[in-house]
Structure 1
């Protein structure tokens, strides 16, 4: 081999070694981001003590956890160690420091052995401890307050493999104050001098929403006034009962705002209950008894079974009513509907219901006055369509949209500097301003609890894996994120909104830790309460304008399909058309709007952001299908009773008898649409108010023929929407109409003329020409006598007739003889 060839092979070998070293950390990162099928070990954090470091805390951070062999082979030489990174300086780092590159982490000390060998399925606990700072011992090197990323690293050697990093887990450690150094004197001036308190010269105005919401539970396709109330499942019964999710959320805020715990009311002023009106409507309905569908996606005719949460609903609603009397309550968008999707639906009435009716529901069901002037967008992004919708709904009165600020992730630029969300209020339109929160903080709060979810407003590049991390690690991330701005006095603005996901599933420990951290930040001087009315007033007064958000901010996987949007638009249009025709039933007081309103609310539930993004379109289509069927049934409930035989009209003006049927519980305004054949005239009966039940009608008509014809009759709303099925009537007319009239009239005239002619000649003593062709007349004699004869004679030649009677013996008239022209008769 020549020297040149030898150098070439040497360069190739060096390149391969360099590539292997470069690829190794990347593989480890990928393994952390999404555990591979061949993962060998898994780390779980069980406790972090203290969870928030203060100047009075022990100067030692202790982490306990568990190493589990989840692979398909034993692992030898299992070792763990703590690593730390500098304080977070940008809000994007609250996400990126928990995933991705490991270069920022430095070991605190050497590895310690957890187990010489771990068999498949084996779990081994570990405990790691390190001082916050120390000049003597290995420490976390934390000298100032801030939020610090901490990592636990586990290495091992799988069978048939080499030593490698097999897993790691990371969390944030918030340090509100640095305690004295380990080993320092615990009394006198030395202790005060060695501790590092936080900078409280620029406290943050803090507003935190405490959500009370749930996924839609009312079964679709149930109009108002229908009993009993149906739910798709009975999970609310568990959630409202002691120990359930909604009970835990309510209990935590009840305790944190109680007089004993918060005597000055500081936490109470900083908190505001974010209540979904749909949850209130559902829980209130449960208090009167309810049933549960045997199949979640079934319609009105599905089998049901009794619900078990009536008492739990009654108790929970009573507690919430009492709590609402002493603290802020703000409604969310109804059923947490996606405003972007609502704008695409394009129905102003549906948009108005979603954004404006919630406060009235809160007032009515909780007996308090809800905060108005703010629109809690919730877990979705603030988009241009959403802003336009709010501008159209509120007009000059305006509203303050509370949503996530835009925040771009690192993208493809490796040298891109970490960014911090600009949470200053802005004005999008003359009527719509926005009070924004940091999406990285909101996403960290969403990671806490038992069912972590990443909100769709977060850019995908800032998404990090959550579900393989323990609940303790995710709680630490939430605490660090919510305290991060208060621990960075140079950040502007000095106001912060904390908006967790609306369907927040916290354990009791999670809720207690988060509310304790909120109270600690206020009492330490890092923050001060900022009630929601102040947020609304400051945002409404802002003159800082901003262009409408461009594109689909956030994660596109939460977007509703066009098929769902167009289907909701079609059903909504038909439903409004039917509602416009309905009136009020004076017997029950049920109005047409109240009767159909639950179906519109169903359509809002179909667009709920509370459903996980991957399941939204499927569940929305199920609910839409059920509502569409129900609306079609409502149209078909108003019909014309189809006769079994045919109608026979006695005269040309005989009315056409009909019977209308209304199976709805409210009256409806209808019109008859009769397709009459030529020769039939139908009188328009105008608008008919059809009450529930049957209504017989007689339609005035006029026919001008004698035959059997088919008459098509349809029923429509007052605005022309078809109702029920058209009916074809078989009609037989015996009337001759105008032809018979004219024939009869002509015959009568001829008869009168002939009679008049005869009388004319008779009175003048002239023969009638009509008699000239007759045979000789027979002389008719009418006689009477009492025994004597008389006779009458006539002179044929003269045509004169004489009438005489011969007197009888007693002087009476005897036989009468009449003589007429042309003959003589006795």
Structure 2
């Protein structure tokens, strides 16, 4: 019995050790550790408060049980923080600590119990102004953080805050008190904003996309090839690019903007790569069956030709009445491009972008500004720009980690123009505002220039809440007249993905701030002039800027540098095809643009290096194919030279659509000299050649022939020719000359004796009895000319007639 007793004691001890863990409610009730509830905000009224707004703020939404157990006593309340006073607070008030929030009213029961998967709506409505116990207590204009706080008690848990949703409420003006006795008193009680120091506002409206052209297709390739057909849907009605274009077209129309204030404030920021792609689609295109494949992949027809035609025509009409500025080509990362260290590629990305817009849109785009895009403005980026003429770089300001300044307030982005070099002036925009705009729409993202410490996990928030955050951040500086400078640049992410309601809300907020006197239009040309004249000298940016996850690897950068160098060298050897007008630069330009697409910031940070290496590999294979397209035709046999100066026949082949300047490199053995043919212009197709050579031997030898560009880059594969020479050199020449001279002397001597009627002594000494061949021939001829045989002269009995056998008779 002792064994079973011990076993029973052990089992009981184990049960007692496990039971407290299973029954403990603490871990299950800690907010944020286990998801139980999720609150979603569906509507906020008014979304922007003005002096004419409803004085009641209403928030409606849904609470859902997303946990693994029921939740009892689900309650909800509205809380508010003080008006935002700094850039960092635009981010930090939306995440993390909740100590700054104070309740507007007591908790309201949303549901006595919420089962797994069940949802329940809620509605919270409170007066805006103070004066009653349950109110928002907002008496002055500003941007106010608001939080919907949800508490509950999960099964096996204790009451706790199980979720919250936060948003920014912009208050342009406080409406009058609702209990005023007269209309005049009500009007007097309204609190308008301070408009004594309006903000000079410049808004960029991006029209850009991820690179869609398939890599590795040189110029002149028709039809154009795309990696996918997503752009067709984006250009079609209701698509992303259609939404952006439609919204700005409507907001700047003469009916909506009769004074032109929004038109002067907004400037279209267009990616030249997108414009080239859409323009190519208008002529018809095909789509790769595999997105990561090269130019030999099977394809299927694209579906967006008509959508591209319509969208491009609408853009051309809009560009004729408002500002247009180019982004860097394909939104290339200037920091990585500086590490590539190729001036030609850098020029395409920066100064060459405006000409593409001018050509395809039929307008003159605004020069003098460099739209850096979604990457940080680092020292290498500034150094790259400084090599391409004067420019104002539009990039994110350096907003560090959250912290307090010397006066005890939170940090605010310094957006004062700074002169980094004699040719580069930076006009920074607030990264907190840009990040809030990037959080809008169905695919919220954090831009690469944002410090990771200021990142906010907003993907779980509703579209409405994120829209409120963006509008609040956009209006924050104009509602704080003490924050300097009194200028503002609004730069959304270039890959902005907005719903129609989002786009309308942003442009409406811009128009409202101008109408309220909080902002005045500042066109891009004025921004450039003001930044250039008012910039203060500053050292180059230093330290760790932006998100390190968005940095391109050194392997990608070095690969692009090597491919670019080879491509420029090959392009220098190409000329113009007179039949088609295609130039060498036009033929290889798409491959250089592919290398810029590999450095695009439009790709999410975690995928940048992988997609860049994929595109680089495809371009590298194509460049190698270009070099191998110019070859020497291998005869497959041997050549026999009849003389020492017989030319060496060769045939060159050019499979390119443009001529190329080449040189022959012939490795001749000793005893063979080759005449340098110099630079040869090799047209498309075949070109037979005869290479002058001189051989001083008689034997079979191997001759190696290679083809190079005019600058020495090897083309194709070298060819080994088998050459057999019959030449004997100078000795054979003198022997032949001597033999000929002896022959002439002998013939001359014989003829001399013949003309004098004397036999040749050489013949007599050889055979004294032998008749003279000439006399025999003459006698034979006389016999043949005698007509009557009876009159023939008697033959000399001592002689036979030629052709008669000895001892025979004439027939």
Q: Same fold (TM over 0.5)?
A: yes
Contact 1:61/1:131 (8 A) holds in 2: yes
1:525 is paired with a residue whose SS is: coil
Deviation at 1:742, TM superposition (A): 3.9
Render the CA deviation track for 1:218-262: whole Å, top value 9, x for unaligned.
Answer: 111111110111111111111111111111101100110111110
1:40 counterpart residue number: 36
Query: Which residue number corresponds to residue 18 of structure 2?
Result: none
Aligned residue for 1:602? 594
1:558 aligns with 2:526: no
1:27-176 → structure 2 map (5 Å cutoff)? 28=31, 31=32, 38-176=34-172
CA distance in 1, matches of 2:300, 2:485: 54
**Structure 2 equivalent of residue 729 of structure 1:** 721
Three-state SS of the structure 2 residue aligned to 1:151 is: strand
Distance in structure 2 (CA, Å) of the matches to 1:118 and 1:465:
26
- C-alpha displacement of 1:290: 0.5
Aligned partner of 2:513 in structure 1 is: 521
- Which range moved further: 145-154 or 728-737? 728-737
Match of residue 647 from structure 1: 639
User: Matches of 1:708 and 1:727 in 2, distance apart?
Assistant: 16
Q: Which of the numbers 364, 368, 371 marks the counterpart of 1:369? A: 364
Structure 1 residues 689-728: aligned runs within 5 Å: 689-728=681-720
Question: Residue 292 of structure 1 aligns with which residue?
Answer: 287
TM-aligned CA deviation for residue 414 of structure 1: 14
Give the aligned partner of residue 374 of structure 2. Answer: 379
| Residue pair 1:222, 1:598 contacting (<8 A) in 2 also | yes
Q: Partner of 2:484 in structure 1? A: 492
Whether the 8 Å contact between 1:132 and 1:181 is mirrored in structure 2 is no
In structure 1, C-alpha distance between the alignment counterparts of 2:711 and 2:403, rounded to whole Å: 55
State the match for 2:317 in structure 1: 322
Summarize the alignment of residues 168-317 of structure 1 with structure 2, pairs less than 5 Å apart. 168-185=164-181, 187-317=182-312
Structure 1 residues 281-319: Cα deviation after superposition (integer angstroms, max 9, x where no partner): 011111110011111111111111111101111001000
Q: 1: CA distance between counterparts of 2:474 and 2:196? A: 19
Q: How does 1:780-795 map to 2 (within 5 A)?
A: none
SS of the counterpart of 1:429?
Answer: coil
Cα 1:650/1:782, change in 2 over 3 Å: closer
Q: Which residue of 2 aligns with 1:794?
A: none
The alignment's C-alpha RMSD in Å is 2.9
> In the alignment, is residue 612 of structure 1 matched against residue 610 of structure 2?
no
Query: Which position in structure 2 is the counterpart of 1:687?
Result: 679
User: Comparing 459-468 with 127-136, which one deviates more in the overlay?
Assistant: 127-136
Q: Distance in 2 between matches of 1:727 and 1:434?
A: 56
Which structure 2 segments of 5+ residues have no match? 1-23, 753-760, 776-795, 797-811
Deviation at residue 27 of structure 1 after TM alignment: 6.4
Deviation of 1:739 (Å): 3.2
- Whether the aligned pair in 2 keeps the contact of 1:333 and 1:355 (CA below 8 Å) is yes
Deviation at 1:745, TM superposition (A): 4.6
**Separation in structure 1 between the aligned mates of residue 413 and residue 471 of structure 2, nearest angstrom:** 18
Go from structure 1 to structure 2 and tell me whether the alpha carbon gap of 1:573 and 1:777 turns closer, same or farther (over 3 Å shift): closer
Task: Quickly say closer, same or farther: Cα 1:777–1:291, change in 2 above 3 A.
Answer: closer
Secondary structure at the residue paired with 1:611?
coil
Q: 1:161 to 1:662 in 2, by over 3 A?
A: same
Cα distance change on mapping 1:484 and 1:705 into 2, 3 Å: same
Deviations 1:383-411 (A, max 9, x none): 000000011122xxx11100111111226
Deviation (angstroms), 1:737 = 1.9
Written as runs of structure 1 = structure 2, the 5 A alignment for 1:428-443 is: 428-443=420-435
SS at match of 1:165: strand
Give 1:808's aligned residue: none
**2:656 & 2:383 partners in 1: Cα distance?**
37
* CA 1:780–1:520: 2 relative to 1, 3 Å: closer
Shift of 1:416: 7.3
Shift of the alpha carbon at 1:741? 2.1
For residues 781 and 648 of structure 1, the distance between their equivalents in structure 2, rounded to whole angstroms, comes to 48
- Counterparts of residues 289-688 of structure 1 (less than 5 Å): 289-394=284-389, 398-410=390-402, 417-688=409-680
Correspondence for 2:804: none
Take 2:377 and 2:774, find their aligned partners in 1: how far apart are those partners? 124
Which stretch shifts more, 542-551 or 522-531? 542-551
Going from structure 1 to structure 2, the CA distance change for 1:577 and 1:781 (only over 3 Å counts) comes to: closer
- Whether the 8 Å CA contact 1:591–1:666 is kept in 2: the answer is yes
Cα deviation, residue 776, structure 1: 11
Q: What is the CA-CA distance between 1:775 and the residue it aligns to?
A: 9.1
Tell me, yes or no, if the aligned pair for 1:134 and 1:181 is still in contact at 8 Å.
no
Aligned residues: 748
CA 24–84 in structure 1, closer or farther in 2 if over 3 Å, else same: farther
Give deviations 1:545-571, integer Å, cap 9, x for gaps: 110011331111100011110111111
* Structure 1 unpaired stretches of 5+: 1-19, 761-769, 786-814, 816-826
Aligned equivalent of 2:11: none
370 and 345 in structure 1: CA distance in 2 versus 1, 3 angstrom threshold: same
